[in-house]
Every structure is written in C-alpha cells, then in structure tokens.
Amino acid sequence: MLAIIGIVIVFGAVIGGFLMEKGQILVLMQPAELVIIGGAAIGTVLIANPPRILTRIVGGLVAALGSGRYNQQWHLKSLKLLYDLFDQARRGGLTSLESEVENPEQGKTFSSHPAILKDHHIRDFICDTLRTMMIGGVDPFDLDQMMETDIEAHHHEAAEPVSALTAVADSLPGLGIVAAVLGVVITMGALGGKPEEIGHKVAAALVGTFLGILLCYGLIGPLASSLSKTAEAERWYYQMLRVTLAAFNKGIPPLLAVEIGRRSIPGNARPKFTELETTCRNRDAQAPAAEAA
C-alpha cells in the first residue's frame, strides 16, 4: 500500500509542479513517446530474461504494491509451527513426523498453518531438513552447512528479478534519449513549416527524455529497490528457520530452540519473548485436554 501511495505522490508532485508553472498538461500527453520507451523497455526485459524470471518479476511487483509479509506475526506463526513439530517429535520421536514430512498437505500440524503450507519453498525447506534428521547419520555441523547452502541458492534465485528490474531502470534514460532523437529527426523534417508545429514537435521530443528519466528514478528504480529489500527480509527469515532447526537438531528443547530462532530475527520483525511463550504454551495447555477428550 505504501508503494502505491509513493507512486501517487511522485507523479502528483511532478504534474502538480508543472501546472503551478503554468504548463499545459496536454503537452505531456505524448502516446508515441510512451510507446517507444515502454515498448523498448519491455522488449529488453524479454530479450535478457527467461520466462521463469519474468514470472518472478511480475509476482515481485504485485507483492511490492501490497504489504510485506515478513512481519512479527509471520515470524510468530512460523516459530509456532516449528514448535509444534518439535514438540510432536519430542513426545513421539522423529518418526512421528513422517506423515507430516512426506505429505504435509494432509498433516495435522502443517494444515493448521495454511499460509505457510501454501508457500512450497518454506514448506520444502522445513520438510527436507526434518527428513534429513529422520534419516540420521548427519553431523549437526554438516546439516547446518546443508541448510546454509540451500538458503544461498534460494537467495540467488530471489535476487535475479531485482537485477533484471534494475537493468531496465538503468536503460530507461537511454531509451528516453532514443525517443528524443527520433523526435528531433521528425522536427528537422518539418523545418520551414509553421513555428507552432515545429514547437509542438520539439516539445514532444523533450517529453521523451522527461519520461525516460521519470520512469527510471520515480517508478522502476524504487520498485527494484523494494524488491531487493523484500529479498533481504526473506533471507533473514530463512536464517531464522535454519537457526531454529539447527538448535533442535543439537538436542535443545523445543521452547528453547524456538527462542534461539527468535533471537536471530531483526528487531523490526522480532516478536516479544512473552508473545512467543504464550503462543507455544497455549498449545501445551490444549494438548492434555484434547487427549482427555
């Protein structure tokens, strides 16, 4: 939502200032210049990126225009899921997680966290790590290194749309110049005509440069920066999963393991200790009642 507000402010301020200077808003309405710049920008994206990155760019832009999910509540839900899995393993052994790991959509624990279950990257990261624990024979240090490698590979993939969008933003001023040069060519061909007509063509050419710079620094560049921050927040989130899973693999009790994971979360997204303890204790309080029923 803030991204949409920011975009409105950028374009509102530019157009508002232009009108305050007694500018004619219709002069900025140059569809041909927008077609040249926008079409060329889209073409460069298609040339430089395979379909999988194009899909991630679209998904990233949609997410950037919404609200970020890596907040305190998301981390708290994730820690609660890990605690539930750890507590189940503590009560019935790691083998009791086999149904959860092999078929998480049908598992009771994962089904109680549908938002996390829907994200196959998070689901697979947790399930693959627990599956490795169940197999056994892997040193805790080696398992930690395995998770770190997984995170690095995922982060590299998440950074690809950012690089692609940044490249487009960097190309927009140059494409604006291309549109302006084409406008000058048209203007030169109209020399000897009416001054008003020549002036209109010169204005159209300058609008091309204006649009290229505005779209670069006022829209695409900031959106690329927003995607970069989201990718970094996602990386910290996976680090939290890694730390928590590694702690449990070392034999640390479930509640303490999730507390270690909580400490790895950046301060702006870290839930309070009392919130985490209350959330986890509620599950412990409900378990005896469910067994009695």
Q: What is the pLDDT of residue 186?
A: 85
What is the rounded CA–CA span in Å between residue 258 and residue 263?
9
For the residues 251-268, what does the mean pLDDT come to?
94
Phi-psi label, residue 160: left if phi above 0, alpha if psi -120 to 50, beta otherwise? alpha
Range of the structural domain that residue 254 is part of: 29-292
Q: For residue range 151-201, what is the model confidence (pLDDT) as tens digits?
A: 999 999 999 999 999 999 999 999 999 999 988 888 887 777 777 778 788
Find the angle CA(52)-CA(57)-CA(59) to the nearest 5 degrees.
95
Percent of the chain's residues with pLDDT above 70: 96
Contact 26, 15 (CB under 8 A): no
> Is residue 269 assigned to a domain?
yes
Of 179, 206, 165, give the one whose Cα is nearest residue 39.
179
> Is residue 22 assigned to a domain?
no
Of 48, 47, 43, 53, give the one whose Cα is nearest residue 160.
53
Tell me the two tokens of residue 79: 């820690």
> What are the backbone angles phi and psi of residue 176, rounded to the nearest 5°?
-65, -40
User: What does the mean pLDDT of the chain come to?
Assistant: 89
> Is residue 92 assigned to a domain?
yes
Which of 57-61, 90-94, 108-112, 256-260 is predicted most confidently? Answer: 256-260
For the residues 19-38, what does the mean pLDDT come to?
88
> Is residue 23 assigned to a domain?
no
Residue 289: is its pLDDT beyond 70?
Answer: no
> Is residue 186 assigned to a domain?
yes
What is the rounded CA–CA span in Å between residue 101 and residue 110?
9
Q: What is the pLDDT of residue 151?
A: 95
> Is residue 4 assigned to a domain?
no
Percent of the chain's residues with pLDDT above 90: 61
CA-based torsion, 280, 285, 286, 290: positive or negative: positive
What is the rounded CA–CA span in Å between residue 66 and residue 210?
28
Q: For residue range 112-148, what is the model confidence (pLDDT) as tens digits?
A: 889 899 999 999 999 999 999 998 888 999 999 999 9
> Is residue 247 assigned to a domain?
yes
Residue 28: is its pLDDT beyond 90?
Answer: no
> Is residue 18 assigned to a domain?
no
For the chain, how many structural domains are there in total?
A: 1
